[in-house]
Amino acid sequence: MKWLRSATLMGILSLALLLGGCSSLDQLTSDSGSSTTSSSDTTATAGNVKGTYAALAKQDYKSGSAAAIKVNSGKSTLKASLWKHSKIDYGNLDSLNRTTTDTAYLSKANLGRSAGRTAQTWSPTGWHNQPIKVNGKRVYPQNRGHLIAYTLSFNLTNTGVYKAGEDGSLDNPKNLATQTAYSNQKTMQIYENQVRTALEQGKKVIYRVTTVFRGNELMPRGYWSQAVSTDGSVNFNVYIWNVEPGVSFDYATGRGKADASMQVAGADKVTTSNNTSNRYSSKRPTTTKQVEKELAKYGYKYVKKAYNHAK
């Protein structure tokens, strides 16, 4: 009967992937680091950064699926022991002038306030700042999105070196990419708030963000974000889709158009009490458990649930 159970499991997994919109990177990475195959026949391992990046870049967002998905079962591959002092390693722009990876080693000293920030002048690749009418309203669906949040980068120079009195990284080309308003102001802030809260509590955090591009496209498909605190209280690894409800984008150019069929599951749900705020402190921070609870509704646990049911 073992073959029958295996066949049943494969059927359930296929159905689960359809229901979940292929929304689990647990099919691409694993805690043990063994290779697994995604729906697009792409393989990657937990310790293989290039392979995981390539797998992420090939994924297509399915309208109505989760705003973020797990990488490596949601666990960071960063080593907390590498934290020595406050700094940010800004990755160089690539040959197309696109951002790459920024890794921040943060403490409470790096928190700052966003009041009175100056205007941003740098235009990242794919940036158009074009207004679009969505449901009759004129909206600007693109932001200049920071890889490392402005409010997490104080007392550090634009080269990432500690220097007391320095303002945050506001207009640094190595820290800005074209991000949708929803991805920037909603989903990403759930995870930024976890980092911010840990720093407010005096903890030290390593926080890494990689912009994921497909081929020579100018607008990122998503943001691969992970963090770990030295005490282990913060530990996440996610891929944040660069999508906007009601708008579809040509990622090759960054230009968007109104598209009523483009929906983001939890567009009005995956939020935190202050997740659209740029304030220094969150009185009611969103915890990892709350994030898990919200995102569980939108797809990435379908496969795990189906597997457990078939056992």
CATH code, 175: 3.40.570.10
Give the integer Cα–Cα distance in Å for 282 and 294.
Answer: 19
User: Which two tokens mark 154?
Assistant: 């104080």
If DSSP codes are grouped into helix, strand and coil, which group holds residue 58? helix
State how many domains the chain has: 1
User: Residue 212: what pLDDT?
Assistant: 98
pLDDT at position 134 is 86
Structure tokens at 22: 């292929």
Query: pLDDT tens, 35-74?
Result: 222 332 223 344 589 999 999 999 999 999 889 999 998 9
The CB-based long-range contact list for 122-125 (8 Å cut-off, 24+ gap) reads 122/171, 122/172, 122/173, 122/176, 124/98, 124/99, 124/173, 124/176, 124/177, 124/178, 125/96, 125/97, 125/98, 125/177, 125/178, 125/218, 125/219, 125/254
Does the residue 37 lie in any domain? Answer: no
Determine contact, residues 202/32, Cβ cutoff 8 Å: no
Give the DSSP letter string of 114-129. Answer: -TTPPPP----TT---
In a domain, residue 163? The reply is yes
Full-model pTM: 0.75
Q: Whole domain around residue 108: which residue ranges?
A: 61-298
Q: Where are the alpha helices (DSSP H) in 42-185?
A: 49-58, 181-182
- CA Rg, the chain, in Å? 19
Cβ atoms of 143 and 271 closer than 8 Å: no
Q: Where are the alpha helices (DSSP H) in the chain?
A: 2-20, 49-58, 181-182, 188-200, 288-296, 302-310
Cβ contact 45:30 at 8 Å: yes
Among 29, 70, 69, residue whose Cα is nearest residue 52: 29
The rounded distance, in Å, linking the Cα atoms of 110 and 280 is 11
pLDDT at 250: 98
Which regions in the chain score pLDDT beneath 50? Answer: 1-46, 267-288, 290-291, 294, 296-311
- 182, with CB counted inside 10 A (0-12, 13-18, 19+), is buried
Question: To which residue do tokens 């002092």 refer?
Answer: 85
Asked if residue 3 belongs to a domain, the reply is no
User: Is 247 inside a domain boundary?
Assistant: yes
Which pLDDT value is given to residue 47? 54
Give the integer Cα–Cα distance in Å for 84 and 105: 8
Enumerate residues 6+ apart whose C-beta is below 8 A from 298.
23, 65, 66, 67, 265, 266, 270
Backbone angles phi, psi at 139, to 5 degrees: -125, 160
25 domain-assigned: no
Q: Which of 147, 40, 156, 61 is nearest to 102 (CA)?
A: 147
For position 293, what pLDDT does the model report?
Answer: 54
Buried b vs exposed e over 127-163: b needs ≥16 C-beta within 10 Å?
bbeeebebeeeeeebbbbbbbbbbbbbbbbebebebe
> What's the pLDDT score for residue 36?
29
In-domain check, residue 45: no
